[in-house]
Structure 1
């Protein structure tokens, strides 16, 4: 029994780390935007379009990724996806021209979104029962963050060993990621189960569930909670995308050196991600809130206040400590929410046999910021003074946070009404 529990958590770690680090090459700009522009010869706007290419392809592929999670072997999908992503990374390491980078981003979307995204979430979800979903999702986000953080720190250390003008620095980083992807793919083959054969519910009893049908997509779309969960993800993910500009913000507004700001970017985008995901799950499990939706609502309120403070200090940036502190507080609210927003789907009592499809549909809407945030902020960076560009960015974040507050309110009220209806006593039985 103890060995089975150990294997379960080890499998969760492999699934989570694979799902987390698989995106790092597609999102290389998060830490290495300046080196990408310097060594690969791209403008900020071009880098934004490279990112939005991945985002557009991802939006198209999220929904079918959910169908794949419900229909195909998790083990085969994850193994092939990780190895293929590693091979694409080796191609990226030769510094290809702009049009080839666009094609690589599309291929990254196929391997990481279509074949891996919903599969990894459903594979992790099946490792726990209904009561464990908040904990499983929180730890999944945390373990993703641990893998991303450790790999980011190691690659940044390797990057810093080279001279500032040595193009081999970024090339080495890309190659390390590629090799790690291939090794994780091999581990997935030995530890991840097929998944689609599972027919057990949270109470452990066998249930006769109907086979997945394409018409189930329409059924999922008709459920109001699907849309509420989607908009919650949309708002939180907008903040997540904006936080990726922390390195640029600290460099341009506070005068931090590139290396110092890059390490700070790792702390903000990687270390905090590792810490805050499980923390959100623990708050849900042990605090009086209990509901992941309520916790996200509370965190969104903190985020709104923090964004207001960032807008105020953006006019006259003074102490870099204040700037870093505000960004860290926003990162805490964002990453703790990221660890919980897919738990909202489980909290809404989504049946397991359409869990993958629901995740896919929510991801289509929720991750739309991938399409517009990067080219928009990149355009602001290229065409506006820094203070004005980042003011616009923080205003975008404030609008997104308000969306989260509104839709968590709607989702919680919907679930509360549904719960009251199921507990109303039947007068005939009395």
Structure 2
């Protein structure tokens, strides 16, 4: 493979990452309009999203099995094509059960067929000294692609006479893009069988999972990521909050949704990594700062009056929260390396911790929709389940739990290092308060 073939392959593969998940996670930008476009209630749409989350969580465990047995290029092309079919089918508004089936298919394709195959496909483009740069640039290209596609989508919706009709055209457009990228991958992506063989197995065995279950860091890391992921999962519900409680224009809310979901992805992630490396020198310590900031913002939303006079304050708070959440997402899996987990056990720890970490996708959309009810209802109609007050109380509790868990992770690691140093005559350092 020539150098130009390598970077063309890398660029195309990275860009697919910014396309394949667009419809599955369209709620982060267009929550209410998507439910109306698909002709389902907000609660029914939330239930469908939760089923998607459950299937996606299960598929993460099977992705490695597929990637070990089939060509990564074939799997990526298949996943894109299947997702494109599901997107176009969804654009026909097939009713509740059809929408549910489409989301199940997207979860199987995106997490079962695509993700592990993409990781292998990217990994075989470079030797061991290039892996960090390859995956770092992967996230950057993914973020840029998602941002560009997101702004195009916002323009499509804004240009439509009816917002719901615009969302349907957008879903169809994303489906077509999936087919375009499937063709580009098939025609232009090259592989290196020698490097692919050197990457080893991606399958997580039952034995690895059993060993991971007995490792305390599996639960500490998985729990920490799960708590921060609660904030990420609920970010989509800030759009109806800004529009229907703080009076922001729907078109502006769409642009804000793209910035919130994609721009912070490639801005805050690298910034978080720099702060961990240069300032805190500890991921749990950094995450403790992030949880403290999230707790303060959740408390601020609890006391901030839901009135149009405070809409810019609400927007500033939401952007501050996005900065904290995406800075955390960029580094929280670095805890696996910092904890000194043996390489033979890392696959099991990451696999089981991922199952714990992404649990919010299985229940939080349904719960959040029940809390806030119909976001387009007038304020005179009482919000069911406690409304946004219940949501922010939940997030405040999550942030406080995250503070405790990151403190425990940090102290556990310090004790281990002190215990290892003691036999060599080193004096154990006092634990941080």
Tell me the equivalent position of 2:328: 337
Alignment of 1:229 onto 2:221:
yes
Report how many residues are paired: 414
| Change over 3 Å in CA distance of 1:188–1:424 after alignment to 2 | farther
Shift of 1:14: 4.8
Tell me the equivalent position of 1:205: none
Tell me the equivalent position of 2:89: 91
Q: Secondary structure at the match of 2:30?
A: helix
2:37–2:168 CA contact under 8 A, matched in 1: no
1:25–1:177 CA contact under 8 A, matched in 2: yes
- TM-score scaled by length of structure 2: 0.84
Which residue of 235, 247, 265 maps to 2:239? 247
Which residue of 252, 256, 268 maps to 1:260? 252
Shift of 1:18: 3.1
| Change over 3 Å in CA distance of 1:331–1:221 after alignment to 2 | same
- TM-score scaled by length of structure 1: 0.84
Tell me the equivalent position of 1:274: 266
Alpha-carbon separation, structure 2, partners of 1:241 and 1:101: 20
Q: Which runs of 5+ in 1 are unaligned?
A: 201-208
- Between 1 and 2, higher relative CO (CA 8 Å, sep ≥ 6) is seen in 1
Alignment of 1:107 onto 2:99:
no
Alpha-carbon separation, structure 2, partners of 1:396 and 1:45: 19
1:69–1:356 CA contact under 8 A, matched in 2: no
Per-residue deviation, residues 361-400 of structure 1 (Å, max 9, x unmatched): 2221111111111111111222773594111111121222
Alpha-carbon separation, structure 2, partners of 1:185 and 1:374: 30
Over the aligned positions, Cα root-mean-square deviation in angstroms equals: 3.3
Alpha-carbon separation, structure 1, partners of 2:419 and 2:72: 37
Shift of 1:225: 1.0
Tell me the equivalent position of 1:216: 208
Which residue of 159, 169, 172 maps to 2:169? 172
Alignment of 1:46 onto 2:44:
yes
Shift of 1:314: 4.4
Alpha-carbon separation, structure 1, partners of 2:268 and 2:416: 30
Tell me the equivalent position of 1:30: 28
1:66–1:357 CA contact under 8 A, matched in 2: no
Q: Secondary structure at the match of 2:300?
A: helix
2:20–2:80 CA contact under 8 A, matched in 1: yes
Alpha-carbon separation, structure 1, partners of 2:56 and 2:412: 29
| Change over 3 Å in CA distance of 1:14–1:390 after alignment to 2 | farther
